[in-house]
Amino acid sequence: MSVRELSYAEAVREALAQAMEADERVFLMGEDIGVYGGAFQVTGDLVHRFGEDRVMDTPIAELGAAGVAVGAALAGSRPVFEFQFSDFATLAMEQIVNQAAKIRFMLGGKVSVPLVMRFPAGSGTGAAAQHSQSLDAWFAHVPGLKVVQPATPHDAKGLLLSAIDDPDPVMVFEHKLLYKMKGEVPEEAYRVPIGKALIRREGRHVTIVATAIMVHRALEAAEILSGEGIDVEVIDLRTLRPLDTQTIIESVKKTTRLACVYEGVKTLGIGAEISAMIAESEAFDYLDAPILRLGGAEAPIPYNPVLEKAAVPQTDGIIASVRRLVTGRI
Amino acid sequence: MTQAIKENPAVSNLRDFYRHFDNAALRDALRRMYLIRRFEEGAEEAYTRGLIHGTMHLSIGQEASAVGSCMDLRKTDYITSTHRGHGHCIAKGADPKLMFAEFFGKEEGYCRGRGGSMHIADVESGNLGANGIVGGGLPIAVGAALAIRKQKRDDVAVCFFGDGASNEGAFHEALNMAAIWKLPVLFICENNKYGMSVSTERSMAVKHVADRAPAYNMPGEIVDGNRIEDVSEAVMRATARARNGDGPSLIETKTYRIRGHSKSDRNRYRTKEEIEEWKARDPIGHFEANLEAFGILRKDEAEAIRTAAEAEIASGVEFAKGGTDPSPADLTRDVYTKGAA
């Protein structure tokens, strides 16, 4: 294994390049992903390496372009589609939800739609309400789609390569604040399996299930809480659908407490699903405290930086809430 | 014998359509039109008798548009179809008994009973599927054409849609992309005058859907959708253009659905006179009369085609009735390829 470090964006780019080198059916589509390099410089210089036919700038037409990706996938290509911001997927929901997710099923399993869509998501960039949402749970509600949310450069590469291999549509949510984060990324084209959560830190007193950037805030909180004698287990969910229920159930049986931390709006978010899943499982009898959910505020993401931070879970809030959960003290 | 009449200089004004296709192909086109008509009538009857549930959208009156568009296509050419898609499916080569099996919800059906009328598809014959979303197939056809280009094939993607779909954003986005990338797509708008109950006069700022083609720098041709020769000749021009790498075309076939939009339609938005007027312009009657006049088909041969179509539909319904009902245990089987969650 290499100890080479890459940024999250570089790791995604390397996965795209390796997938295109390995399989001529793979190509990229999106807005300004060519010479511009992508709004977040994820595709970067790929157009110069692979040409405009394989790194295709589309018009600003999310619905139509998403449909083109669906049709190309149906007809034997392997498109990887970049939404400039995940929020713009609202313009393409028809093709994603009615078509990509359902065509295989509607046609009796006689075709597959090997489509990957990448969604730069999340708040913290001062881009306000229409460029900062975390809509991953919407997609996880749709049978026929798979939804992954890599939290590290390593997983960004490995999960994307798995997504491109996958015969079904996979939605990849990339948190924008993570793009510059560095981490160890092996050079070879390795895969991280879809549908497997990862225990990032083992602990005995409480389980935090977190997604995307919340994994890092949860790990920071765990480090600080360990100084107070609170031993936190942090699970990086990595895949929202299919959900790795077993890893969470086993962890909760061990720690007897569960906190779900995610950036999407709290109500009806992924935390609601995990809480309900635990309540229905054998782990329910092991619980020593109510389940805690820390999610996004019941408001659009605001512009003002103080308000923006207040709209999604931050490390201090996680520390305070988890401390209360474990000690039972207000 | 009939070929001799076709080559008779006395019939010197015979349309290209009748010269391009041999007599067998022309007779087969008529057979397919009858097959569609009888299929729709058979489906309607099965629905009325309670043998089929759900809803369906019949294309009676639009057979020339479907068959004329598909008769010169290859198996490897794609079509995307609409909620009114039974005719396209048969025209592209599907087997009516497997379509009936689908309508009856059986495992033997094209979609193993999971799709039904609105999602009928026959991928083997190049039909990527009907679509329950108005305009849903437009960008998909463009994507299929993009894959064709990437695979260096000279096939085409034919996208059927209705006048109503041309008011959807997807239509405009799809045409624009097909044009800027010069993709081998035929956009065939079957303009049957109504998007459900709302007429084109009330829903479109232009008179014809083809008027929208110049905005996307592609040819827009209007043809009489009830005359198979008009449809076919326009489609052949457009496919030649597409296969030659010259890009997409829009063809508007002016036609009419004799039945209502779906089973809920009470025909409150159109007059009996209008329906009768279009019935008199029956595409099958027109084509059959021409074939007879040009000596391509005898009356008894026409009768044989009708009888055979009726028999095929009747046996298709019987086949479907005897099909296998899917097991509820297999409900989630085809949601994912590898059976994940």
User: How high is the pLDDT of residue B1?
Assistant: 43
For B249-295, how does the pLDDT look when each residue is reduced to its tens digit (9 = 90+)?
999 999 999 999 988 888 899 999 999 999 999 999 999 999 999 99
Please state the rounded mean pLDDT for residues B17-36.
Answer: 97
Quickly tell me which residue has 């109503």 as its tokens.
Answer: B164
For B167-202, how does the pLDDT look when each residue is reduced to its tens digit (9 = 90+)?
999 999 999 999 999 999 999 999 999 999 999 999
Residues 6+ apart with CB under 8 A from A47: A33, A34, A35, A37, A55
Q: Cα separation of B17 and B6, whole Å? A: 12
CA A232 to chain CA centroid, nearest Å? 22
Q: What is the pLDDT along chain A (330 residues), one digit of tens a residue?
A: 557 999 999 999 999 999 999 999 999 999 999 999 999 999 999 999 999 999 999 999 999 999 999 999 999 999 999 999 999 999 999 999 999 999 999 999 999 999 999 999 999 999 999 999 999 999 999 999 999 999 999 999 999 999 999 999 999 999 999 999 999 999 999 999 999 999 999 999 999 999 999 999 999 999 999 999 999 999 999 999 999 999 999 999 999 999 999 999 999 999 999 999 999 999 999 999 999 999 999 999 999 999 999 999 999 999 999 999 999 865
CATH of B27-319, picked from 3.20.20.150, 3.40.50.170, 3.40.605.10, 3.40.50.970, is: 3.40.50.970
- Say yes or no for a CB contact (<8 Å) between A109 and B112: yes
Q: Point out the residue among A25, A68, A243 whose CB comes nearest to the CB of B177.
A: A68
User: How high is the pLDDT of residue A96?
Assistant: 98
Q: Cα separation of B106 and A71, whole Å? A: 27
Work out whether strand A292-296 and strand A258-265 pair parallel, antiparallel, or are unpaired.
parallel
The yes-or-no verdict on residue B223 having pLDDT over 60 is: yes
A240: nearest CA in chain B?
A: B341
Task: Kindly name the residue from A10, A31, A82, A131 that is annotated as catalytic.
Answer: A131
User: How high is the pLDDT of residue A328?
Assistant: 86
A282 in catalytic set = no
The yes-or-no verdict on residue B206 having pLDDT over 60 is: yes
User: How high is the pLDDT of residue B341?
Assistant: 43
Give the length of chain A. Answer: 330
Give residue B10's pLDDT band: very low, low, confident or very high (50, 70, 90): low
A62 in catalytic set = yes
Alpha helices in chain B (DSSP H): 2-6, 16-20, 23-48, 63-70, 86-91, 96-103, 137-150, 169-180, 200-203, 228-243, 272-279, 283-293, 299-321
For B60-109, how does the pLDDT look when each residue is reduced to its tens digit (9 = 90+)?
999 999 999 999 999 999 999 999 999 999 999 999 999 999 999 999 99
The yes-or-no verdict on residue B321 having pLDDT over 80 is: yes
Q: Point out the residue among B132, B147, B336 whose CB comes nearest to the CB of A75.
A: B147
Residues 6+ apart with CB under 8 A from A135: A86, A87, A89, A90, A119, A121, A264
- Which of B78, B142, B150 is the best mutation test for A, with the most CBs of A within 10 A? B150
CB A107 within 8 A of CB B140: no
- Chain B contacts of A146, Cβ < 8 Å? 336, 340
Q: Point out the residue among B110, B129, B176 whose CB comes nearest to the CB of A103.
A: B129
User: Is the bond preceding residue B328 a cis peptide, omega within 30 degrees?
Assistant: no
Q: Which domains does chain A have, with CATH numbers?
A: 5-184 (3.40.50.970), 198-327 (3.40.50.920)
Up-side HSE of residue B64: CA atoms within 13 Å toward CB?
Answer: 29
Handedness of CA A254, A255, A258, A261 (dihedral sign): negative
Please state the rounded mean pLDDT for residues B30-54.
Answer: 95
Element (H, E) at A240: strand A239-241
B10 in contact with A, Cβ within 8 Å: no
For B248-260, how does the pLDDT look when each residue is reduced to its tens digit (9 = 90+)?
999 999 999 999 9
For A225-263, how does the pLDDT look when each residue is reduced to its tens digit (9 = 90+)?
999 999 999 999 999 999 999 999 999 999 999 999 999
Q: Cα separation of A269 and A138, whole Å? A: 8
Counts for chain A of helices (H) and strands (E), in that order: 12, 14
User: How high is the pLDDT of residue B47?
Assistant: 92
B153 in contact with A, Cβ within 8 Å: no
- Say yes or no for a CB contact (<8 Å) between A67 and B333: no
Chains A, B: CB contacts within 8 A come to 165
User: How high is the pLDDT of residue B66?
Assistant: 98
Q: Cα separation of A5 and B124, whole Å? A: 47
Share the mean pLDDT of chain B: 94
A241 in contact with B, Cβ within 8 Å: yes
Residues 6+ apart with CB under 8 A from B250: B175, B187, B189, B209, B210, B212, B213, B216, B218, B219, B220, B221
Give residue B11's pLDDT band: very low, low, confident or very high (50, 70, 90): low
Sheet holding B220-224, edge to edge: B78-80, B157-162, B185-191, B249-254, B220-224
CB A232 within 8 A of CB A208: yes
User: How high is the pLDDT of residue B38?
Assistant: 98
For A167, the 3-state DSSP assignment is coil
User: How high is the pLDDT of residue B30?
Assistant: 98
The domain ranges of chain B are 27-319
For A8-46, how does the pLDDT look when each residue is reduced to its tens digit (9 = 90+)?
999 999 999 999 999 999 999 999 999 999 999 999 999
ipTM reported for the complex, 2 dp: 0.95
Q: Cα separation of A65 and B294, whole Å? A: 47
CB B168 within 8 A of CB B102: no
Please state the rounded mean pLDDT for residues B5-33.
Answer: 85
The percent helix, strand, coil of chain B (3-state, each to 5) is 50, 10, 40
Work out whether strand A206-210 and strand A182-184 pair parallel, antiparallel, or are unpaired.
unpaired
- Chain B contacts of A61, Cβ < 8 Å? 173, 176-177
A196 in contact with B, Cβ within 8 Å: no
Q: Cα separation of A122 and A86, whole Å? A: 8
